Structure 1
Amino acid sequence: MRTVLVTGAAGGIGAAIAARFAAAGDRLACADLRPAELSTVAEKLRADHGAAVTELPGDLADAAYAEGLVDAAGAVDVLVNAAGIYPATRLLDMTAQRWDRVQDVNVRAAVLTTVAFGRKHVAAGTAGTVVNISSGAATRARPGASHYATSKAALEMATKACAVELGPHGIRVNAVSPGFVTVDSEANPVTEAYAAAVSVNPLGRRGAPGEIAGAVFWLAGPEAGWITGTVLRVDGGSTAGAAGLPLHWSGETAVQEGMPQKGTTHV
Protein backbone atom coordinates (compact mmCIF):
# COMPACT_ATOMS: atom_id res chain seq x y z
CA MET A 1 0.00 0.00 0.00
CA ARG A 2 1.36 3.36 -1.07
CA THR A 3 0.65 6.87 0.14
CA VAL A 4 -0.19 9.13 -2.79
CA LEU A 5 -0.29 12.93 -2.61
CA VAL A 6 -2.48 14.51 -5.30
CA THR A 7 -2.69 18.27 -5.74
CA GLY A 8 -5.73 19.73 -7.46
CA ALA A 9 -7.66 16.73 -6.16
CA ALA A 10 -11.03 18.51 -6.16
CA GLY A 11 -10.89 19.02 -9.93
CA GLY A 12 -12.12 16.59 -12.58
CA ILE A 13 -8.73 15.13 -13.56
CA GLY A 14 -7.29 15.38 -10.05
CA ALA A 15 -10.33 13.64 -8.53
CA ALA A 16 -10.14 10.88 -11.15
CA ILE A 17 -6.46 10.36 -10.39
CA ALA A 18 -7.17 10.12 -6.66
CA ALA A 19 -9.98 7.63 -7.34
CA ARG A 20 -7.72 5.45 -9.51
CA PHE A 21 -5.15 5.10 -6.74
CA ALA A 22 -7.85 4.63 -4.10
CA ALA A 23 -9.33 1.79 -6.15
CA ALA A 24 -5.95 0.06 -5.96
CA GLY A 25 -6.00 0.27 -2.16
CA ASP A 26 -3.59 3.19 -1.79
CA ARG A 27 -3.81 5.84 0.92
CA LEU A 28 -4.54 9.36 -0.31
CA ALA A 29 -3.46 12.82 0.73
CA CYS A 30 -5.51 15.32 -1.27
CA ALA A 31 -4.75 19.01 -1.68
CA ASP A 32 -6.85 21.74 -3.27
CA LEU A 33 -7.69 25.41 -2.90
CA ARG A 34 -11.42 24.68 -2.35
CA PRO A 35 -12.03 23.01 1.03
CA ALA A 36 -15.73 22.22 0.49
CA GLU A 37 -15.18 20.57 -2.90
CA LEU A 38 -12.13 18.76 -1.53
CA SER A 39 -14.20 17.32 1.32
CA THR A 40 -16.83 16.14 -1.16
CA VAL A 41 -14.19 14.27 -3.17
CA ALA A 42 -12.62 12.81 -0.02
CA GLU A 43 -15.98 11.54 1.23
CA LYS A 44 -16.64 9.88 -2.11
CA LEU A 45 -13.23 8.17 -2.01
CA ARG A 46 -14.01 6.84 1.45
CA ALA A 47 -17.51 5.70 0.48
CA ASP A 48 -16.60 4.13 -2.87
CA HIS A 49 -13.22 2.59 -2.03
CA GLY A 50 -12.89 2.59 1.75
CA ALA A 51 -9.83 4.77 1.26
CA ALA A 52 -7.88 6.47 4.00
CA VAL A 53 -7.88 10.11 2.93
CA THR A 54 -6.13 13.13 4.44
CA GLU A 55 -7.49 16.50 3.36
CA LEU A 56 -4.96 19.31 2.95
CA PRO A 57 -6.74 22.44 1.71
CA GLY A 58 -4.68 25.47 0.81
CA ASP A 59 -3.40 27.82 -1.88
CA LEU A 60 -0.47 26.47 -3.89
CA ALA A 61 0.53 30.02 -4.79
CA ASP A 62 1.60 30.27 -1.13
CA ALA A 63 5.15 28.97 -1.23
CA ALA A 64 5.11 27.95 2.44
CA TYR A 65 2.00 25.83 1.89
CA ALA A 66 3.49 24.17 -1.20
CA GLU A 67 6.80 23.47 0.52
CA GLY A 68 5.06 21.94 3.54
CA LEU A 69 2.60 19.67 1.72
CA VAL A 70 4.83 16.59 1.59
CA ASP A 71 5.58 16.72 5.31
CA ALA A 72 1.90 17.30 6.07
CA ALA A 73 0.97 14.24 3.99
CA GLY A 74 3.36 11.91 5.81
CA ALA A 75 5.51 9.26 4.13
CA VAL A 76 4.56 9.95 0.52
CA ASP A 77 5.48 7.32 -2.09
CA VAL A 78 3.89 8.96 -5.13
CA LEU A 79 3.46 12.68 -5.77
CA VAL A 80 1.01 13.78 -8.47
CA ASN A 81 1.08 17.49 -9.29
CA ALA A 82 -2.33 17.81 -10.95
CA ALA A 83 -3.24 21.33 -9.81
CA GLY A 84 -3.43 23.94 -12.53
CA ILE A 85 -5.32 27.08 -13.46
CA TYR A 86 -5.96 28.42 -16.96
CA PRO A 87 -7.67 31.80 -16.87
CA ALA A 88 -8.38 33.47 -20.22
CA THR A 89 -6.39 36.70 -20.37
CA ARG A 90 -5.62 38.51 -23.59
CA LEU A 91 -1.97 39.43 -23.91
CA LEU A 92 -2.67 43.17 -23.95
CA ASP A 93 -4.63 42.79 -20.71
CA MET A 94 -1.83 40.90 -18.96
CA THR A 95 -0.51 42.18 -15.65
CA ALA A 96 2.35 41.02 -13.47
CA GLN A 97 -0.12 39.74 -10.89
CA ARG A 98 -2.10 37.67 -13.40
CA TRP A 99 1.07 36.27 -14.96
CA ASP A 100 2.70 35.41 -11.65
CA ARG A 101 -0.31 33.61 -10.20
CA VAL A 102 -0.45 31.18 -13.11
CA GLN A 103 3.29 30.52 -12.91
CA ASP A 104 3.17 30.16 -9.12
CA VAL A 105 0.37 27.57 -9.17
CA ASN A 106 1.25 25.70 -12.35
CA VAL A 107 5.05 25.62 -12.18
CA ARG A 108 6.57 26.86 -8.95
CA ALA A 109 4.30 24.81 -6.71
CA ALA A 110 5.08 21.61 -8.62
CA VAL A 111 8.80 22.27 -8.33
CA LEU A 112 8.57 23.09 -4.62
CA THR A 113 6.59 19.93 -3.83
CA THR A 114 9.02 17.86 -5.89
CA VAL A 115 12.01 19.37 -4.08
CA ALA A 116 10.44 18.58 -0.70
CA PHE A 117 9.58 15.06 -1.91
CA GLY A 118 13.12 14.55 -3.18
CA ARG A 119 14.78 15.76 -0.01
CA LYS A 120 12.67 13.44 2.11
CA HIS A 121 13.42 10.37 0.00
CA VAL A 122 17.11 11.13 -0.35
CA ALA A 123 17.42 11.53 3.42
CA ALA A 124 15.63 8.21 3.96
CA GLY A 125 17.44 6.43 1.13
CA THR A 126 14.15 5.40 -0.49
CA ALA A 127 12.79 5.52 -4.03
CA GLY A 128 9.76 7.54 -5.12
CA THR A 129 7.77 8.66 -8.13
CA VAL A 130 6.50 12.04 -9.31
CA VAL A 131 3.97 12.61 -12.10
CA ASN A 132 3.18 16.13 -13.28
CA ILE A 133 0.12 17.04 -15.33
CA SER A 134 1.07 19.12 -18.35
CA SER A 135 -1.04 20.09 -21.38
CA GLY A 136 -0.95 20.28 -25.14
CA ALA A 137 -0.64 24.02 -24.56
CA ALA A 138 3.01 23.36 -23.72
CA THR A 139 3.70 23.09 -27.46
CA ARG A 140 0.86 25.15 -28.96
CA ALA A 141 0.00 28.70 -27.91
CA ARG A 142 -3.54 30.07 -28.23
CA PRO A 143 -5.19 33.45 -27.72
CA GLY A 144 -5.72 34.33 -24.09
CA ALA A 145 -3.38 31.64 -22.78
CA SER A 146 0.11 33.10 -23.02
CA HIS A 147 0.60 32.68 -19.27
CA TYR A 148 -0.87 29.15 -19.25
CA ALA A 149 1.01 27.86 -22.30
CA THR A 150 4.25 29.26 -20.93
CA SER A 151 3.64 27.62 -17.55
CA LYS A 152 3.09 24.19 -19.11
CA ALA A 153 6.15 24.47 -21.33
CA ALA A 154 8.14 25.37 -18.23
CA LEU A 155 6.60 22.47 -16.31
CA GLU A 156 7.73 20.00 -18.97
CA MET A 157 11.30 21.27 -18.78
CA ALA A 158 11.13 21.23 -14.98
CA THR A 159 10.02 17.60 -15.23
CA LYS A 160 13.14 16.76 -17.22
CA ALA A 161 15.44 18.81 -14.99
CA CYS A 162 14.09 17.14 -11.86
CA ALA A 163 14.39 13.70 -13.47
CA VAL A 164 18.06 14.31 -14.26
CA GLU A 165 18.96 15.38 -10.72
CA LEU A 166 16.76 12.96 -8.80
CA GLY A 167 17.23 9.89 -10.97
CA PRO A 168 20.53 8.87 -9.34
CA HIS A 169 18.63 8.75 -6.04
CA GLY A 170 16.00 6.35 -7.39
CA ILE A 171 13.33 8.99 -7.87
CA ARG A 172 11.49 9.03 -11.20
CA VAL A 173 9.85 12.21 -12.50
CA ASN A 174 7.53 12.14 -15.52
CA ALA A 175 4.59 14.08 -16.93
CA VAL A 176 1.28 13.27 -18.57
CA SER A 177 0.05 15.75 -21.16
CA PRO A 178 -3.71 15.48 -21.71
CA GLY A 179 -5.53 16.61 -24.81
CA PHE A 180 -8.97 18.14 -24.40
CA VAL A 181 -10.76 16.31 -21.60
CA THR A 182 -14.41 16.81 -20.71
CA VAL A 183 -14.43 18.22 -17.19
CA ASP A 184 -17.29 20.01 -15.46
CA SER A 185 -15.29 22.70 -13.70
CA GLU A 186 -16.49 25.93 -12.14
CA ALA A 187 -12.90 26.84 -11.33
CA ASN A 188 -11.69 26.44 -14.93
CA PRO A 189 -14.72 26.72 -17.23
CA VAL A 190 -14.53 26.57 -21.04
CA THR A 191 -17.11 27.46 -23.65
CA GLU A 192 -18.63 24.80 -25.91
CA ALA A 193 -17.33 26.68 -28.95
CA TYR A 194 -13.78 26.39 -27.62
CA ALA A 195 -14.25 22.74 -26.66
CA ALA A 196 -15.51 21.85 -30.15
CA ALA A 197 -12.58 23.61 -31.80
CA VAL A 198 -9.82 21.98 -29.77
CA SER A 199 -11.23 18.48 -29.38
CA VAL A 200 -10.72 17.45 -33.03
CA ASN A 201 -8.23 14.57 -33.12
CA PRO A 202 -7.56 11.36 -35.06
CA LEU A 203 -9.63 9.26 -32.64
CA GLY A 204 -12.55 11.61 -33.14
CA ARG A 205 -13.65 12.21 -29.56
CA ARG A 206 -12.87 14.07 -26.37
CA GLY A 207 -10.98 12.43 -23.56
CA ALA A 208 -12.31 11.43 -20.15
CA PRO A 209 -10.65 12.11 -16.78
CA GLY A 210 -10.34 8.38 -16.12
CA GLU A 211 -8.16 7.96 -19.21
CA ILE A 212 -5.69 10.50 -17.88
CA ALA A 213 -5.83 8.84 -14.46
CA GLY A 214 -4.99 5.48 -16.01
CA ALA A 215 -1.88 6.91 -17.66
CA VAL A 216 -0.76 8.53 -14.40
CA PHE A 217 -1.32 5.30 -12.47
CA TRP A 218 0.75 3.32 -14.98
CA LEU A 219 3.62 5.83 -14.98
CA ALA A 220 3.71 5.72 -11.19
CA GLY A 221 3.84 1.92 -11.13
CA PRO A 222 6.52 -0.74 -11.52
CA GLU A 223 5.82 -1.41 -15.20
CA ALA A 224 7.19 2.07 -15.93
CA GLY A 225 10.23 1.52 -13.72
CA TRP A 226 12.75 2.45 -16.44
CA ILE A 227 10.92 5.59 -17.55
CA THR A 228 11.88 9.01 -16.27
CA GLY A 229 12.06 12.51 -17.70
CA THR A 230 9.42 11.77 -20.31
CA VAL A 231 6.16 13.45 -21.29
CA LEU A 232 3.38 11.02 -22.19
CA ARG A 233 0.88 12.61 -24.60
CA VAL A 234 -2.60 11.28 -23.88
CA ASP A 235 -4.53 13.31 -26.42
CA GLY A 236 -6.37 11.12 -28.90
CA GLY A 237 -3.52 11.61 -31.36
CA SER A 238 -3.87 15.39 -31.68
CA THR A 239 -0.10 15.81 -31.28
CA ALA A 240 0.43 13.48 -34.25
CA GLY A 241 -1.60 15.62 -36.62
CA ALA A 242 -5.00 16.76 -37.82
CA ALA A 243 -7.05 13.93 -39.30
CA GLY A 244 -10.00 16.14 -40.22
CA LEU A 245 -8.25 18.32 -42.81
CA PRO A 246 -9.10 17.90 -46.52
CA LEU A 247 -6.47 16.73 -48.99
CA HIS A 248 -4.14 19.59 -49.87
CA TRP A 249 -4.61 18.77 -53.58
CA SER A 250 -7.94 17.98 -55.18
CA GLY A 251 -6.78 15.05 -57.29
CA GLU A 252 -3.86 13.04 -58.68
CA THR A 253 -0.82 15.04 -59.72
CA ALA A 254 1.51 14.47 -62.61
CA VAL A 255 4.58 15.19 -60.50
CA GLN A 256 7.09 12.40 -60.50
CA GLU A 257 8.04 11.19 -57.06
CA GLY A 258 10.94 13.23 -55.75
CA MET A 259 10.77 15.66 -58.70
CA PRO A 260 8.55 18.66 -57.78
CA GLN A 261 7.42 20.87 -60.64
CA LYS A 262 8.84 24.33 -61.01
CA GLY A 263 6.86 26.81 -58.97
CA THR A 264 5.28 24.27 -56.59
CA THR A 265 5.18 25.01 -52.89
CA HIS A 266 5.72 22.39 -50.17
CA VAL A 267 3.82 22.76 -46.91
Structure 2
Amino acid sequence: MSRHVLITGAGSGIGRQTALAFAQQGAMLSLVDLRTDAAESVASEAEALGADSVHVHAADLRDMEAPATIVRGVWGAAPVDVLVNAAGVYPATPYLDLDASTWDAVQNLNVRAPLLSTVALAQLASATGRRAVVVNISSGAALRARPGAAPYATSKAALEMATRASALELGSLGIRVNAVAPGFVTVNSKANPVTEEYAAAVSPNPLGRRGRPEDVANAVLWLCSDAAEWITGEILRVDGGASTGAMNLPLHWEPATKKEAHA
Protein backbone atom coordinates (compact mmCIF):
# COMPACT_ATOMS: atom_id res chain seq x y z
CA MET A 1 0.00 0.00 0.00
CA SER A 2 1.35 3.44 -0.93
CA ARG A 3 2.26 5.94 1.75
CA HIS A 4 0.04 8.93 2.37
CA VAL A 5 2.18 12.09 2.34
CA LEU A 6 0.85 15.47 3.49
CA ILE A 7 2.92 18.46 2.32
CA THR A 8 2.26 22.07 3.27
CA GLY A 9 3.52 24.88 1.05
CA ALA A 10 3.32 22.42 -1.84
CA GLY A 11 2.54 24.99 -4.52
CA SER A 12 6.12 26.05 -5.25
CA GLY A 13 9.80 25.73 -4.43
CA ILE A 14 10.91 23.05 -2.00
CA GLY A 15 7.35 21.94 -1.24
CA ARG A 16 6.63 21.43 -4.92
CA GLN A 17 9.82 19.48 -5.58
CA THR A 18 9.22 17.31 -2.52
CA ALA A 19 5.74 16.49 -3.80
CA LEU A 20 7.13 15.48 -7.19
CA ALA A 21 9.81 13.32 -5.58
CA PHE A 22 7.23 11.42 -3.53
CA ALA A 23 5.02 11.15 -6.63
CA GLN A 24 7.80 9.24 -8.37
CA GLN A 25 7.63 6.74 -5.49
CA GLY A 26 3.92 6.24 -6.13
CA ALA A 27 2.77 7.98 -2.96
CA MET A 28 -0.73 9.22 -2.19
CA LEU A 29 -0.37 12.99 -1.90
CA SER A 30 -2.30 15.64 -0.01
CA LEU A 31 -1.02 19.05 -1.09
CA VAL A 32 -1.74 22.13 1.03
CA ASP A 33 -1.17 25.68 -0.13
CA LEU A 34 -2.73 29.12 0.22
CA ARG A 35 -2.77 29.38 -3.58
CA THR A 36 -5.08 26.72 -5.01
CA ASP A 37 -4.04 27.32 -8.61
CA ALA A 38 -0.39 26.69 -7.81
CA ALA A 39 -1.18 23.51 -5.88
CA GLU A 40 -3.44 22.27 -8.69
CA SER A 41 -0.59 22.73 -11.15
CA VAL A 42 1.72 20.68 -8.94
CA ALA A 43 -0.99 18.04 -8.60
CA SER A 44 -1.12 17.63 -12.38
CA GLU A 45 2.66 17.21 -12.50
CA ALA A 46 2.55 14.68 -9.66
CA GLU A 47 -0.14 12.61 -11.35
CA ALA A 48 1.92 12.50 -14.55
CA LEU A 49 4.91 11.24 -12.56
CA GLY A 50 3.01 8.31 -11.07
CA ALA A 51 1.44 9.46 -7.82
CA ASP A 52 -1.14 7.00 -6.49
CA SER A 53 -3.60 9.87 -6.06
CA VAL A 54 -3.38 13.60 -5.41
CA HIS A 55 -5.71 15.84 -3.41
CA VAL A 56 -5.38 19.61 -3.07
CA HIS A 57 -6.41 21.56 0.02
CA ALA A 58 -6.45 25.35 0.29
CA ALA A 59 -5.60 26.76 3.72
CA ASP A 60 -4.11 29.79 5.40
CA LEU A 61 -1.96 28.10 8.02
CA ARG A 62 -1.50 31.38 9.88
CA ASP A 63 -5.03 30.84 11.14
CA MET A 64 -4.89 29.30 14.62
CA GLU A 65 -7.28 26.43 13.81
CA ALA A 66 -6.11 25.70 10.27
CA PRO A 67 -3.19 23.31 10.90
CA ALA A 68 -5.20 20.86 13.02
CA THR A 69 -8.24 21.18 10.79
CA ILE A 70 -6.23 20.30 7.69
CA VAL A 71 -4.48 17.32 9.31
CA ARG A 72 -7.74 15.90 10.67
CA GLY A 73 -9.54 16.41 7.38
CA VAL A 74 -6.79 14.75 5.38
CA TRP A 75 -6.58 11.88 7.88
CA GLY A 76 -10.28 11.27 7.30
CA ALA A 77 -9.49 10.23 3.74
CA ALA A 78 -6.56 8.00 4.79
CA PRO A 79 -4.14 7.91 7.75
CA VAL A 80 -1.10 10.11 7.16
CA ASP A 81 2.28 8.37 7.11
CA VAL A 82 4.48 11.40 6.34
CA LEU A 83 4.05 15.09 7.15
CA VAL A 84 6.36 17.62 5.49
CA ASN A 85 6.00 21.14 6.88
CA ALA A 86 7.37 23.25 4.03
CA ALA A 87 5.07 26.29 4.18
CA GLY A 88 6.89 29.44 5.21
CA VAL A 89 7.27 33.14 4.62
CA TYR A 90 10.43 35.25 4.39
CA PRO A 91 9.56 38.95 4.47
CA ALA A 92 12.24 41.63 4.29
CA THR A 93 11.52 43.99 7.17
CA PRO A 94 13.95 46.64 8.40
CA TYR A 95 14.47 46.24 12.13
CA LEU A 96 13.16 49.72 13.02
CA ASP A 97 9.96 48.97 11.10
CA LEU A 98 9.11 45.81 13.03
CA ASP A 99 5.77 45.67 14.80
CA ALA A 100 3.72 42.99 16.54
CA SER A 101 1.63 42.21 13.47
CA THR A 102 4.66 41.57 11.26
CA TRP A 103 6.34 39.48 13.94
CA ASP A 104 3.27 37.36 14.64
CA ALA A 105 2.56 36.70 10.96
CA VAL A 106 5.99 35.11 10.52
CA GLN A 107 5.99 33.15 13.78
CA ASN A 108 2.46 31.87 13.24
CA LEU A 109 3.25 30.38 9.84
CA ASN A 110 6.88 29.36 10.32
CA VAL A 111 6.70 27.96 13.86
CA ARG A 112 3.19 27.61 15.23
CA ALA A 113 1.69 25.99 12.14
CA PRO A 114 4.22 23.13 11.85
CA LEU A 115 4.09 22.55 15.59
CA LEU A 116 0.29 22.36 15.68
CA SER A 117 0.24 20.18 12.55
CA THR A 118 2.62 17.78 14.27
CA VAL A 119 0.52 17.74 17.44
CA ALA A 120 -2.62 16.94 15.45
CA LEU A 121 -0.85 14.16 13.54
CA ALA A 122 0.55 12.69 16.76
CA GLN A 123 -2.86 12.68 18.41
CA LEU A 124 -4.40 10.77 15.51
CA ALA A 125 -1.49 8.40 15.05
CA SER A 126 -1.21 7.52 18.74
CA ALA A 127 -4.95 6.92 19.01
CA THR A 128 -4.77 4.35 16.23
CA GLY A 129 -1.36 2.87 17.03
CA ARG A 130 0.23 4.05 13.79
CA ARG A 131 3.79 5.17 13.18
CA ALA A 132 4.58 8.38 11.30
CA VAL A 133 7.41 10.62 10.14
CA VAL A 134 7.56 14.42 10.26
CA VAL A 135 10.10 16.60 8.45
CA ASN A 136 10.21 20.35 9.03
CA ILE A 137 11.92 22.69 6.58
CA SER A 138 14.24 25.01 8.49
CA SER A 139 16.95 27.31 7.10
CA GLY A 140 20.55 28.32 7.47
CA ALA A 141 19.11 31.52 8.94
CA ALA A 142 18.49 29.54 12.14
CA LEU A 143 22.22 29.84 12.81
CA ARG A 144 23.01 33.20 11.21
CA ALA A 145 20.97 36.39 11.62
CA ARG A 146 20.60 38.58 8.55
CA PRO A 147 19.64 42.24 8.05
CA GLY A 148 15.89 42.58 7.59
CA ALA A 149 15.25 39.00 8.65
CA ALA A 150 14.97 39.13 12.44
CA PRO A 151 11.49 37.51 12.48
CA TYR A 152 12.48 34.84 9.95
CA ALA A 153 15.79 33.88 11.56
CA THR A 154 14.15 33.72 14.96
CA SER A 155 11.32 31.57 13.60
CA LYS A 156 13.70 29.04 12.08
CA ALA A 157 15.78 28.81 15.25
CA ALA A 158 12.56 28.19 17.16
CA LEU A 159 11.44 25.60 14.60
CA GLU A 160 14.66 23.64 15.11
CA MET A 161 14.08 23.51 18.86
CA ALA A 162 10.44 22.55 18.27
CA THR A 163 11.74 19.73 16.08
CA ARG A 164 13.97 18.42 18.87
CA ALA A 165 11.26 18.81 21.52
CA SER A 166 8.73 16.98 19.34
CA ALA A 167 11.17 14.15 18.66
CA LEU A 168 11.88 13.78 22.37
CA GLU A 169 8.23 13.44 23.31
CA LEU A 170 6.95 11.47 20.35
CA GLY A 171 9.68 8.89 19.88
CA SER A 172 8.04 6.41 22.25
CA LEU A 173 4.92 6.59 20.08
CA GLY A 174 6.82 5.56 16.96
CA ILE A 175 6.81 9.06 15.49
CA ARG A 176 10.11 10.42 14.17
CA VAL A 177 10.57 14.19 13.79
CA ASN A 178 13.53 15.73 11.96
CA ALA A 179 14.30 18.90 10.02
CA VAL A 180 16.17 19.79 6.87
CA ALA A 181 17.94 23.15 6.90
CA PRO A 182 18.74 24.30 3.34
CA GLY A 183 21.35 26.83 2.42
CA PHE A 184 20.47 29.26 -0.36
CA VAL A 185 18.24 27.44 -2.84
CA THR A 186 17.14 28.93 -6.14
CA VAL A 187 13.34 28.62 -6.17
CA ASN A 188 12.21 31.82 -7.97
CA SER A 189 9.42 32.21 -5.43
CA LYS A 190 6.77 34.85 -6.04
CA ALA A 191 5.77 34.66 -2.39
CA ASN A 192 9.34 35.11 -1.11
CA PRO A 193 11.28 36.98 -3.85
CA VAL A 194 14.96 37.85 -3.40
CA THR A 195 17.24 40.07 -5.43
CA GLU A 196 20.27 38.71 -7.29
CA GLU A 197 22.44 40.92 -5.08
CA TYR A 198 21.10 39.15 -1.98
CA ALA A 199 21.42 35.71 -3.57
CA ALA A 200 25.04 36.36 -4.48
CA ALA A 201 25.83 37.46 -0.94
CA VAL A 202 24.33 34.45 0.87
CA SER A 203 24.98 31.62 -1.60
CA PRO A 204 28.78 31.03 -1.39
CA ASN A 205 29.66 27.58 -0.05
CA PRO A 206 32.58 25.12 -0.22
CA LEU A 207 30.94 23.06 -2.96
CA GLY A 208 30.71 26.08 -5.22
CA ARG A 209 27.15 26.06 -6.51
CA ARG A 210 23.74 27.24 -5.41
CA GLY A 211 21.27 24.77 -4.06
CA ARG A 212 18.41 23.30 -6.05
CA PRO A 213 15.00 22.22 -4.71
CA GLU A 214 15.97 18.67 -5.70
CA ASP A 215 18.84 18.75 -3.21
CA VAL A 216 16.42 19.39 -0.36
CA ALA A 217 13.73 17.01 -1.61
CA ASN A 218 16.26 14.17 -1.77
CA ALA A 219 17.20 14.79 1.86
CA VAL A 220 13.54 14.79 2.88
CA LEU A 221 12.94 11.48 1.10
CA TRP A 222 15.90 9.91 2.84
CA LEU A 223 14.79 11.06 6.29
CA CYS A 224 11.35 9.57 5.59
CA SER A 225 12.80 6.24 4.42
CA ASP A 226 13.56 3.06 6.35
CA ALA A 227 17.25 3.85 5.89
CA ALA A 228 16.79 6.63 8.49
CA GLU A 229 14.57 4.67 10.89
CA TRP A 230 16.94 5.25 13.85
CA ILE A 231 17.22 8.99 13.31
CA THR A 232 15.04 11.52 15.11
CA GLY A 233 15.50 15.01 16.50
CA GLU A 234 18.20 15.81 13.95
CA ILE A 235 18.71 18.92 11.83
CA LEU A 236 20.17 17.88 8.48
CA ARG A 237 21.97 20.85 6.92
CA VAL A 238 21.76 20.68 3.14
CA ASP A 239 23.79 23.74 2.26
CA GLY A 240 26.88 22.78 0.28
CA GLY A 241 28.89 23.18 3.47
CA ALA A 242 27.96 26.84 4.00
CA SER A 243 27.34 26.31 7.72
CA THR A 244 30.88 24.99 8.29
CA GLY A 245 32.31 28.51 8.48
CA ALA A 246 32.87 31.86 6.83
CA MET A 247 33.76 31.86 3.14
CA ASN A 248 36.16 34.15 1.26
CA LEU A 249 38.03 35.57 4.25
CA PRO A 250 41.72 36.42 3.91
CA LEU A 251 44.33 34.87 6.20
CA HIS A 252 44.37 36.77 9.47
CA TRP A 253 48.15 37.08 9.21
CA GLU A 254 50.83 36.53 6.60
CA PRO A 255 53.77 34.37 7.76
CA ALA A 256 57.16 35.65 6.59
CA THR A 257 58.50 32.16 5.98
CA LYS A 258 57.24 28.60 5.95
CA LYS A 259 59.28 27.99 9.08
CA GLU A 260 57.41 30.72 10.93
CA ALA A 261 54.09 29.38 9.66
CA HIS A 262 54.76 26.02 11.38
CA ALA A 263 56.35 27.46 14.52
Q: Structure 2 length normalisation: TM-score?
A: 0.95
2:204 maps to 1:203? no
State the match for 2:136 in structure 1. 132
- Indicate if the aligned counterparts of 2:29 and 2:51 stay in contact, CA closer than 8 A: no
State the match for 1:193 in structure 2. 197
Greater Rg over alpha carbons, structure? 1
Q: Deviations over 1:44-74 (max 9, x none)?
A: 1112324411101110001211111112212
Q: Structure 2 matches for 1:225-236, cutoff 5 A?
A: 225-236=229-240
Among 76, 81, 84, the residue aligned to 1:77 = 81
Q: Tell me, in whole angstroms, the C-alpha distance in 2 between the residues paired with 1:55 and 1:226.
A: 31
State the match for 1:55 in structure 2. 56
- Indicate if the aligned counterparts of 2:178 and 2:235 stay in contact, CA closer than 8 A: yes
**Secondary structure, aligned partner of 1:154:** helix
Q: Tell me, in whole angstroms, the C-alpha distance in 1 between the residues paired with 2:247 and 2:34.
A: 38
What amino acid is the match of 1:203? L
Instruction: Give the root-mean-square deviation of aligned CA atoms.
Output: 1.4
Q: Give aligned pairs, total.
A: 258
Choose 83-92 or 48-57, whichever is displaced more: 48-57
2:149 maps to 1:145? yes
State the match for 1:120 in structure 2. 124
State the match for 2:21 in structure 1. 20
Q: Tell me, in whole angstroms, the C-alpha distance in 2 between the residues paired with 1:42 and 1:24.
A: 15
Q: Structure 2 matches for 1:182-261, cutoff 5 A?
A: 182-252=186-256, 255=260
Q: Rate the CA distance shift 1:250–1:163 in 2: closer, same or farther, 3 A.
A: same
What amino acid is the match of 1:41? V
Q: Structure 1 length normalisation: TM-score?
A: 0.93
2:13 maps to 1:9? no
Q: Tell me, in whole angstroms, the C-alpha distance in 1 between the residues paired with 2:261 and 2:18.
A: 52
Q: Tell me, in whole angstroms, the C-alpha distance in 2 between the residues paired with 1:179 and 1:41.
A: 23
Q: Tell me, in whole angstroms, the C-alpha distance in 2 between the residues paired with 1:119 and 1:129.
A: 13
Q: Tell me, in whole angstroms, the C-alpha distance in 1 between the residues paired with 2:249 and 2:89.
A: 31
State the match for 1:265 in structure 2. none
What amino acid is the match of 1:142? R
**Secondary structure, aligned partner of 1:239:** helix
Unaligned runs of 5+ in 2: none
**Secondary structure, aligned partner of 1:17:** helix
Identity, % of aligned pairs?
56
**Secondary structure, aligned partner of 1:99:** helix
What amino acid is the match of 1:57? A
What amino acid is the match of 2:88? G
- Indicate if the aligned counterparts of 1:90 and 1:143 stay in contact, CA closer than 8 A: yes
What amino acid is the match of 2:225? G
Runs (4 or more) in structure 1 with deviation over 6 Å come to none
